[in-house]
């Protein structure tokens, strides 16, 4: 049995999420069915993180165990052929140690949120970004975001469906910057709560359009109450961009 680590890129739009769902297609289902078609083996995919319906990934790390002998390159090519036309691609494939685990060996995760700050409707980027028509003050958003960096009880920014045992997380990095007509929000932590990034982005957008004072983000955090949340940003603009592992 060989453990293969795969790096996946996917468009989350057609899927109900990364993990298998009883009520619709998932990235996990697409990959596991591709492995079955290539190897004849039923496998379980394990991933570095979870993504909701509509959330995308630039480099999600996953692993599968396969008994049939394959080189990494041959497996990657075969899986990509079988995954078509699903919007999932294997960008990299490598053999790893039996005790390497895509989820439990991961020591850091990074997300990017893309806001198209323009009045004109989205065409090429529809479903790939959140459009905010009102001008955003990205500097105010960045200042407000710093109140969330560090170890906190993130109950306010946690989905009511979150299954994490504790709402306490350590946010290592949260930055807001502008790139032309785009406002980009980057977040890094060892792990995140369900909807944490989208909830943080929603509140920062409230600051950006002037509906919230900068201090209200800190006040919402201190409230430890989901009712204090200003807005939960849509999934369209959220991307899983990186998983960090020791030695990499």
Active site residues: 52
Q: How far is residue 208 from each of residues 62, 140, 178, measured CA to CA in Å?
A: 35, 6, 12
Residue labelled with tokens 């298998």: 20
From its phi and psi, is residue 40 left (phi > 0), alpha (psi between -120 and 50) or beta?
Answer: left
Q: Under 8 Å CB-to-CB from 80, ≥6 apart: which residues?
A: 89, 90
SS3 76: helix
Residue labelled with tokens 């469906």: 161
* DSSP label of 120: S
SS3 179: strand
Q: Under 8 Å CB-to-CB from 109, ≥6 apart: which residues?
A: 48, 49, 188, 189, 190, 191, 192, 240, 242, 243, 244
Which two structure tokens, joined as six digits, stand for 170?
């350590």
- How far apart (Å, rounded) are the C-alpha atoms in residues 122 and 174? 26
> How many other CB atoms sit within 10 Å of the CB of residue 106?
18
Phi, psi of 208 (to 5 degrees): -60, -35
For residue 50, the number of C-alpha atoms closer than 13 Å in the C-beta half-sphere is 14
């Amino acid at each position: 049995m060989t453990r293969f680590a795969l790096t996946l890129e996917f468009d989350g739009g057609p899927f109900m999420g990364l993990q298998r769902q009883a009520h619709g297609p998932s990235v996990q289902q697409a990959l596991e069915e591709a492995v079955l078609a290539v190897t004849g083996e039923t496998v379980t995919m394990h991933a570095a993180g979870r993504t909701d319906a509509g959330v995308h990934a630039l480099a999600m790390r996953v692993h599968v165990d396969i008994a049939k002998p394959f080189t990494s390159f041959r497996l990657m090519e075969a899986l990509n052929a079988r995954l078509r036309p699903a919007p999932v691609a294997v960008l990299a494939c490598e053999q790893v140690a039996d005790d390497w685990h895509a989820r439990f060996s991961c020591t850091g995760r990074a997300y990017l949120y893309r806001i198209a700050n323009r009045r004109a409707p989205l065409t090429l980027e529809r479903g790939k970004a959140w459009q905010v028509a009102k001008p955003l003050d990205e500097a105010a958003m960045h200042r407000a975001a710093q109140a969330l960096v560090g170890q906190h009880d993130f109950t306010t920014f946690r989905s009511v469906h979150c299954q994490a045992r504790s709402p306490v997380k350590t946010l290592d990095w949260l930055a807001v910057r502008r790139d032309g007509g785009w406002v980009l929000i980057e977040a890094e932590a060892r792990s995140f709560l369900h909807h944490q990034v989208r909830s943080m982005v929603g509140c920062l957008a409230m600051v950006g359009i002037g509906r919230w004072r900068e201090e209200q983000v800190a006040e919402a955090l201190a409230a430890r109450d989901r009712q204090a949340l200003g807005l939960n940003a849509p999934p369209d603009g959220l991307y899983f961009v990186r998983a960090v592992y020791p030695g990499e």
